[in-house]
Structure 1
Amino acid sequence: MYTGDQLREMFLNFFQEKGHRLQASASLIPKNDPTLLLTVAGMVPFKPYFMRQVEPPFPRATTCQKCVRTPDLERVGKTARHHTFFEMLGNFSFGDYFKEEAITWAWEYVTEVIKLPADQLWITVHPEDHEAREIWINKAGVSPDRLLDDEENFWAAGPVGPCGPCSEIYVDLGEARGCGKPDCAIGCDCDRFLEIWNLVFMQYTRDESGTLTPLPRQNIDTGMGLERITSVMQGVVSNFDTDLFIPIINKIAEIAGINYKDDPKKDTALKVISDHTRAIAFMLGDGIRPSSDGRGYVLRRILRRAVRYARLIGIEKPFLEQIFAVIQSKYAHAYPELKENENFILNHLKLEEKNFQATLEQGTQILQDKVESLKKQGLQEINGTDAFHLYETYGFPVELTEEILAEEGITVDMENYQLAFEEHRKAAKEQSRQMVSSAENMALINKARELGKTEFVGYRQLSTETFVAALFSGEEEVASAGEGEEVLCLLPRTPFYAESGGQVADKGWIRSERAEAQVMEVRKLPDGSFCHRLRITSGVLKVQDTVVAEVDGEIRKSIAAHHSSTHLLHTALRKVLGQHVQQAGSLVSEERLRFDFSHFSAMSTEELNTVEEEINRQIRGALSVNIAEMCMEDAKAQGAIALFGEKYGDEVRVVRMGEFSTELCGGTHVQNTGEIGIVKILSESGIGAGLRRIEAVAGKQALAYIHSLEESLEEIAVILKAAPGESLKKAGQMAGQLKDAEREIEKLNARLSKYEAENILDKVQEIQGVKVLAAKVQAPDMDALRKMSDTLKDRLKEGVIILGASAEGKVHFVSVVSPSGLNGLHAGKIIKEVAAFTGGSGGGRPDMAQAGGKDPSKIEEALAKVPAIIKGMLG
């Protein structure tokens, strides 16, 4: 029996022997692909090659690609095959070989390498793909009666673009795995016939009208799920029963104190948690952080779903760290990022698991309130829409809701739950479809590819002679552009740095004999060409004009100073806070720098001062900045820090600042740290769970900031009527005087409140033997209102007090029931009903509660309702 590790290695070795370049799995974060949140298939990293946006550096490749898909999240754990994270084995041809090789190698692999019996295999082909059918029969030697037509065997990258027919290989797992129906065959919903490999023949391109045109260079894209083929080779009924999952499941079961295969319901939870924890580990390993949107939201949702399912089997304490240890030991040899980024992964697991407890408790409270409301109404079923709201907002799976409600004898309206769920899923799919089909300037991309890569000379010089290779107005190619027009321009050679790696693009000018244009923006196209957005300021600029492209030197200097400062800042942070600090994004511009990094608490003033002093010490040391290109292995040997989650090529650019900082970077830098002058940190703040942000200025911007502070101090000194050196002392004296005045005002307010309280006691009325005081009073804030209610409680001794006040357009209410539980009355329930009349809400304990409102004009009306509310509660 082959292990999952062996099957992964066997596949990759087989195709390496067939001349394929072995490529490591790309990140789960798709590179330069705005249409995808996550890498969802093995072909995703190669899309630019298939679409010829970039010329492939090798003709064929093989990979085991990490993938995450979530459209069928609800089916995970309930079927044998659905996963969020999975490994996709694949072989790819970029205009090299085509159908014959793809088909014959696939057949050779399944029948001769892993030795699946031919009489258990079935092949499907597209009905019109006669070529593939003939190859399967005549070249691969497959019996014609093992081939079936399937009209769905057609793959497309989207509504337009590359597409083509495909062939699928199925394995018959035997009658015992089937549904028993006489017509059970390929395509049946049962588990008997399992698709193990899909071969896509990318031979057409489809235009907007739906017309198919043969591609000049045809491609191959195949995919075999490692989990599926492992389950087949190990002879188990589910992917979860393979050695890829069993160690994880066993650890979860151990923590829960249960056994796998004892209880089907608990088995589902074990499968969900094992699947989700794999996805969590690999997403964190690639630098994805939990957040409230994008791929971070996907990660957070999966993580919370794992924690919720853990509760279903009795795991209430943090457990993800223990599961990660198992995943790391199982997969780190194939995916070293699980080891390299261990601290980052563990820190986020701990923080996110801890933070979710608060959300879970909040959702539980809402559910309990709902139970109480249903019981009062004599109902025994919760609305399906409410159940879905709990799922979508607070992360409660419907199974958890059902379990909690079952203890109270309440069921869930599953029909309406499913309707709400389906409506949400359709909306999500439509959003996804719109994202994938978003327009790109393909005319510009194709023209750039035709012209070839732009030569970037900006590292060595700030101006160069070149010529206008193409101009575009939107998606239309034009021959010229006149004064006032904005156009996109392609140059064969440029000194302008294109926006990349957090560094903004250079600005400057393009000048010909007859025209001048301002360079507003520079971006990189998929093939590496630079696209310049120009505003023509004078004359007419024409295609083929000889021009001088010149970078604004002052702006470049400021950008370089800020970029070099981020390198010094990164190293200083790691030195002061610890090696767990990793860059999580940056912005480098002429005006300032912004640096995001992983750290799990706010920095103290002392830490910030130490970091700032360390940076400026290295600036004063005038460290030489040396830049060299080398292979990745040599860069690692030199201790170069790579940007977390970034994928680098074989050759990398290493920026070294003395012995202090060594990083991989493609940006522009100073030649000596002394050129920076000075760095001043402006702020440090939190921007998300486990993420901090520092903003700072360097060079002349730092000097301008210091001058502005000096001017502010001088103005403060004038206001305080003190010499600049005495301002702090004078401000301290004034603050003390202000505090004394505030205390005096507070005493006066207390006396006024006491006086007012004594004068409203005549408004007390008796309702069914209970003393009730409801009155509008003068109180500047909620604290004053509470103090007034305390005074009245002492005087009234026993009864109900409801006070209302308005201040600065806000409504405040306080209710007191003394003694607590008097005649069954509840202060929180009383105040909730009163506040509702002013458009507010609130609640609290049985003895004291407070609330807010929106409409001050309705305070008296709300208080007038108190007798009726009390009567209703007293029955």
Structure 2
Amino acid sequence: MKTKEIREVFLNFFEEKSHKIVSSAPMVVKNDPTLMFTNAGMNQFKDFFLGYNKAKDTRVANTQKCLRVSGKHNDLEEVGVDTYHHTMFEMLGNWSFGDYFKKEAIGWAWEILTEVYKIDKRKLYVTVFEGDKEDGLGVDQASFDIWKQYIDEDRIILASKKDNFWEMGESGPCGPASEIHVDIRSEAEREKVDGKSLVNADHPQVIEIWNLVFMQYNRMADGSLDKLPNNHVDTGMGLERLAMVMQGVTSNYDTDQFQYLINFIAKKANKKYGASEKLDIAMRVVADHIRAIAFSITDGQLPSNTGAGYVIRRILRRAVRYGYSTLGLEGPFLYELSEKLGEIMGDAFPELLNQKETISKVIYEEEVSFFRTLAQGIKKLDGIIESAKAKNELILDGEVIFELYDTFGFPIDLTGLIARENDLQIDENGFNIALEKQKTRSRAATQVSTQDWVQLKEDDKEEFVGYDFLESDIYITKYREVSQKKKKFYQLVFNLTPFYAQGGGQEGDTGFIELDGEKVKIFDTKKENNLIVHLVDKLPENINGKFKAHVDTKRRRLVEANHSGTHLLHHVLREVLGTHVEQKGSLVNEKVLRFDFSHFSKLSEEEISAIESKVNALIKANITLDEKRNIPIKVAEDMGAMALFGEKYGDVVRVIKFGDSVELCGGTHVSSTGIIGSFKIVTESSVAAGIRRIEAITSDAAELYFSTRVTQFDAIANLFNKPKNLVKTIEETLAKNAVLQKQIDALKLEKVNYIGKDIESNIVEKNGVHFLSEKLNLDNDSIKQIAFNLKSKFNPFVGVFGGSNDGKASLTIIFTEAYAKENDLNAGGIIREAAKLIKGGGGGQPFYASAGGSDANGIAEGLKFIEEKIFGA
């Protein structure tokens, strides 16, 4: 059975069991500060487990695209080394939100595995939670007794809290789990060694296939457990592992989808899969990683140097380095593989086909950039190796290697390979110490500590009323203390709120709540899952009172102008550039709007002008907002509403319409376009291959921009005595200046050449070398030119120069290369020490270096210091 069929059978089975089949949530998480990526099928349902939302459908099933790059089993550097772990994988799952529980979950799991998929019952084992004294929990006897109806008791294994008690995090919903394991060894091997002894022992052919989690408890911040008001079921089964079992192979990478990719990689590299473990690992890494990279891009996460983007860049570079160092692929190749991925998975995930060109171009540019980085890193490493050999060192310093890894992104394994080729080793321990220090710094910078919620009042659901009201009477239903970066603040939840929470690119509202003359400032509003939290530095004195909530009206109006302007911009971009334009990211606050979109070339001045003109025409038309709340998504789609990238929409949505601009949007907007005032593009740039970025301003910011430009224009015109044609006058002035500058440069060159010839007579012989120490009243560039001219004439040559020009001091050292090497001299190292004497700094290469400083009085001492360093005192 092909992977595609296996997926379809699972979904059909649970649909027949009255489950609503829902689509996969984006793999990149937008509104959960605890997660960068969806790492389990339950992530999109956290609100139901936490009690923040009530599920409309109490039975749900789906296949969820997940990404794991750390955790119990999955360290990124291990993926591809074994046969069953991945970065991106599909999680098949079924859920019950307060509906069925253990009996049905266990019965249906057994039914589909043994009766539908027809997996041999003799190959299956199950685990049950054995209890935990610390938590005061006994054996999950209910699950044990249910399993006895389906499987021999000697195949039911009691397992520890580590393996069979699932927790969402340090706090939150949790409960005992029951895992189903399958033994895919040959019959002879199964007879020789009992599979029961290999369960949870990391055996590559006795693996967990399905985890049934029974959420019964809530873990409090102090570690204690409370019973949840309702019992829930959360199950997850890796599609790739199930396919391995169903297709009778012993590796996930031998299943049909992976083999389709691996065959392409093997052909591209002219290598054979199965020929060697080293080659196989490389091909598995590349086949695995292209999935994580491509799916992240479809969800709007581009590779970058921070956050989730850094994780994707790291995965991409790991794939490239395996292709480069092991498979011998010396140019971009992943971008081609992304198209193969669309062919094999595009039916289940059409975003791979819809964004085919964007995915390919983004990956290609990243590959080109990294190959450039590899070339730079190899050059830098060559210098490190040369220096080590010159000092007769056999081990490369761990901190230096870490700097190469951290600053240049040069892979440590490639460093080790090149070092071994030069009969050297690397200080892995020193590298690991430096790496751990960096991780510790990073963790400390981002660590967030939250206390338990303090419940003040019961309230079914917090309503957002901010579309219609900027003030409202509220009370606080609960609060908690939060610590981040050594700063303490509080999150407040209201029974209702006029404050818009950050989402869809729009920043959260600010303002204050007020009671009896006390004002408590709200400095941000965020959404954690679907809970709106208001951030304050201190708690109000009468926390149980009834408050008046005030949104910062002026700021909100400016934000609304920018958000509505973003919608108009998106519409006009598609009109001017073409319907290939799709939103890839946005930021909206009171100062600016930023819009990222798919387009493959820089916008011309004519295009920018046309876009501005059309947006401003829509603003002047004063089009009234046509807002439709709570309409079925199918109706919205029929209206032509544009959906945002990487967002998951419910069955009911909100539509924002300004004339022909129709978008799904939860943000706040102006009541008519005329309120926006005016629109001005301030920058247009590239974010990544095929992704452009426009930053623009509206309203007050645009007015200030234009008034400032008019003031500047008038000032410039006055400087030129208000000519009739200011542009022509400036062009003529610049042309005259260019002619004069050429004349000045020619005179300067003549002067430098004259001085250079003049000081040749001051060269003396010292220790068998032509030596010159000279102080010149010239700038550093002129001294450099003289130094290199003299070096080309005299061999061997050592030149030491001091410079004084416009109150600035400089020192310069130059050697002929052979002399520097023979005498183990490094101009860069010497100049760094000498620079202190002129109160400055500098650096350079072993044969040439310069320094600049502020104290010309130190030049003479600096020249003497350098001479003594070279020749001795």
TM value normalised by structure 1: 0.85
**Which of 840, 843, 847 is the equivalent residue of 2:842?**
840
Residue 51 to residue 92, structure 1, CA distance change in 2 (3 Å): same
Between the aligned partners of 2:803 and 2:141, the Cα distance in structure 1 is: 81
SS of residue in 2 equivalent to 1:469: strand
Between the aligned partners of 1:568 and 1:419, the Cα distance in structure 2 is: 52
SS of residue in 2 equivalent to 1:89: strand
Does the 8 Å contact 2:80/2:285 carry over to 1? yes
User: Aligned residue for 2:680?
Assistant: 680
Is there any run of 5+ residues in structure 1 with no aligned partner, and where? 477-485
Does the 8 Å contact 2:41/2:93 carry over to 1? yes
- TM-superposed deviation, 1:400: 2.5
Range that drifts further, 215-224 or 573-582:
573-582
Q: Which amino acid aligns with 1:113?
A: V
User: Aligned residue for 1:723?
Assistant: 722
- TM-superposed deviation, 1:259: 0.8
Residue 467 to residue 610, structure 1, CA distance change in 2 (3 Å): closer
Pair 1:255-2:274 in alignment: no
In the TM superposition, what whole-angstrom CA distance separates every residue of 1:297-347 from its partner, at most 9, and x where no partner exists?
A: 000001011111101211011111210111111111111111222232122
Q: Which amino acid aligns with 1:98?
A: F
User: Aligned residue for 1:400?
Assistant: 414
Residue 448 to residue 503, structure 1, CA distance change in 2 (3 Å): farther
User: Aligned residue for 1:302?
Assistant: 315
User: Aligned residue for 1:647?
Assistant: 648
Q: Which amino acid aligns with 2:105?
A: A
- TM-superposed deviation, 1:162: 1.9
Pair 1:366-2:372 in alignment: no
User: Aligned residue for 1:787?
Assistant: 785
Pair 1:147-2:156 in alignment: yes
Between the aligned partners of 2:105 and 2:598, the Cα distance in structure 1 is: 45
**Which of 298, 303, 306 is the equivalent residue of 1:293?**
306
User: Aligned residue for 2:711?
Assistant: 711
Does the 8 Å contact 2:478/2:494 carry over to 1? no
Range that drifts further, 732-741 or 51-60:
732-741
- TM-superposed deviation, 1:394: 3.7
Between the aligned partners of 1:375 and 1:475, the Cα distance in structure 2 is: 56
Between the aligned partners of 1:812 and 1:640, the Cα distance in structure 2 is: 66
Q: Which amino acid aligns with 2:845?
A: G
Does the 8 Å contact 2:127/2:158 carry over to 1? yes
Is there any run of 5+ residues in structure 2 with no aligned partner, and where? 132-137, 483-488, 836-840
User: Aligned residue for 2:201?
Assistant: 188
Between the aligned partners of 1:608 and 1:60, the Cα distance in structure 2 is: 50
Does the 8 Å contact 1:569/1:615 carry over to 2? yes
- TM-superposed deviation, 1:50: 1.0
Q: Which amino acid aligns with 2:803?
A: A
Q: What pairs up with 1:113-124 in 2 under 5 angstroms?
A: 113-124=116-127
Between the aligned partners of 1:179 and 1:75, the Cα distance in structure 2 is: 31
Between the aligned partners of 2:439 and 2:541, the Cα distance in structure 1 is: 54
SS of residue in 1 equivalent to 2:36: coil
SS of residue in 1 equivalent to 2:201: coil
Range that drifts further, 41-50 or 786-795:
786-795
Q: What pairs up with 1:597-608 in 2 under 5 angstroms?
A: 597-599=597-599, 602-608=602-608
Pair 1:327-2:341 in alignment: yes
Pair 1:347-2:350 in alignment: no
SS of residue in 1 equivalent to 2:263: helix
- TM-superposed deviation, 1:38: 1.1
Range that drifts further, 684-693 or 9-18:
684-693
User: Aligned residue for 1:229?
Assistant: 242
Q: What pairs up with 1:573-588 in 2 under 5 angstroms?
A: 573-588=573-588
Does the 8 Å contact 1:467/1:492 carry over to 2? no
- TM-superposed deviation, 1:393: 4.2
User: Aligned residue for 1:125?
Assistant: 128
Range that drifts further, 189-198 or 413-422:
413-422
Does the 8 Å contact 2:502/2:527 carry over to 1? no
Does the 8 Å contact 1:560/1:668 carry over to 2? yes
- TM-superposed deviation, 1:415: 5.6
SS of residue in 2 equivalent to 1:666: coil
Between the aligned partners of 1:131 and 1:51, the Cα distance in structure 2 is: 23
User: Aligned residue for 2:803?
Assistant: 805
User: Aligned residue for 1:452?
Assistant: 461
Does the 8 Å contact 2:128/2:143 carry over to 1? no
Residue 424 to residue 532, structure 1, CA distance change in 2 (3 Å): closer
Between the aligned partners of 2:130 and 2:550, the Cα distance in structure 1 is: 59
- TM-superposed deviation, 1:506: 5.9
Range that drifts further, 308-317 or 822-831:
822-831
Q: Which amino acid aligns with 2:159?
A: D
Residue 811 to residue 103, structure 1, CA distance change in 2 (3 Å): farther
Residue 286 to residue 810, structure 1, CA distance change in 2 (3 Å): farther
Between the aligned partners of 2:203 and 2:502, the Cα distance in structure 1 is: 52
Between the aligned partners of 1:253 and 1:539, the Cα distance in structure 2 is: 68
Does the 8 Å contact 2:470/2:553 carry over to 1? no
User: Aligned residue for 2:135?
Assistant: none
Report the number of matched residues.
841
- TM-superposed deviation, 1:90: 1.5
User: Aligned residue for 1:15?
Assistant: 14
Q: Which amino acid aligns with 1:100?
A: K
User: Aligned residue for 1:70?
Assistant: 69
Residue 11 to residue 408, structure 1, CA distance change in 2 (3 Å): same
Range that drifts further, 204-213 or 852-861:
852-861
Between the aligned partners of 1:185 and 1:346, the Cα distance in structure 2 is: 43
User: Aligned residue for 1:481?
Assistant: none
Residue 703 to residue 420, structure 1, CA distance change in 2 (3 Å): closer
Between the aligned partners of 1:147 and 1:535, the Cα distance in structure 2 is: 52
SS of residue in 2 equivalent to 1:292: coil
SS of residue in 2 equivalent to 1:245: helix
Residue 614 to residue 233, structure 1, CA distance change in 2 (3 Å): same
Does the 8 Å contact 1:806/1:856 carry over to 2? no
User: Aligned residue for 1:663?
Assistant: 663
Range that drifts further, 288-297 or 154-163:
154-163
In the TM superposition, what whole-angstrom CA distance separates every residue of 1:457-508 from its partner, at most 9, and x where no partner exists?
A: x54x4577x64333778759xxxxxxxxx99876656655444433355678
The two structures, once aligned, show a CA RMSD in angstroms of 4.0
Between the aligned partners of 2:107 and 2:255, the Cα distance in structure 1 is: 28
Between the aligned partners of 1:185 and 1:540, the Cα distance in structure 2 is: 59
Between the aligned partners of 1:632 and 1:828, the Cα distance in structure 2 is: 74
User: Aligned residue for 1:42?
Assistant: 41
Range that drifts further, 39-48 or 166-175:
166-175
Pair 1:468-2:474 in alignment: yes
Does the 8 Å contact 1:159/1:206 carry over to 2? yes
Residue 285 to residue 688, structure 1, CA distance change in 2 (3 Å): closer
Between the aligned partners of 1:398 and 1:243, the Cα distance in structure 2 is: 33
Residue 347 to residue 136, structure 1, CA distance change in 2 (3 Å): farther
Does the 8 Å contact 1:680/1:702 carry over to 2? yes
Pair 1:93-2:100 in alignment: no
Residue 192 to residue 306, structure 1, CA distance change in 2 (3 Å): closer
Does the 8 Å contact 1:125/1:166 carry over to 2? yes
Residue 768 to residue 704, structure 1, CA distance change in 2 (3 Å): closer
Residue 269 to residue 806, structure 1, CA distance change in 2 (3 Å): farther
Q: Which amino acid aligns with 1:314?
A: G
Range that drifts further, 706-715 or 787-796:
787-796
SS of residue in 2 equivalent to 1:244: helix
User: Aligned residue for 1:210?
Assistant: 223
Does the 8 Å contact 1:90/1:223 carry over to 2? yes
TM value normalised by structure 2: 0.85
Between the aligned partners of 1:836 and 1:179, the Cα distance in structure 2 is: 72
> Between the two proteins, what is the percent identity of the paired residues?
38
Range that drifts further, 87-96 or 409-418:
409-418
- TM-superposed deviation, 1:155: 1.8
Between the aligned partners of 1:774 and 1:404, the Cα distance in structure 2 is: 41
Does the 8 Å contact 2:593/2:697 carry over to 1? yes
Residue 518 to residue 505, structure 1, CA distance change in 2 (3 Å): farther
Does the 8 Å contact 1:490/1:530 carry over to 2? yes
User: Aligned residue for 1:102?
Assistant: 105
- TM-superposed deviation, 1:523: 3.1
User: Aligned residue for 2:486?
Assistant: none
Range that drifts further, 21-30 or 417-426:
417-426
Pair 1:438-2:434 in alignment: no
Q: Which amino acid aligns with 1:835?
A: I
Residue 759 to residue 252, structure 1, CA distance change in 2 (3 Å): same
Residue 184 to residue 809, structure 1, CA distance change in 2 (3 Å): farther
SS of residue in 2 equivalent to 1:37: coil
Does the 8 Å contact 2:128/2:140 carry over to 1? no
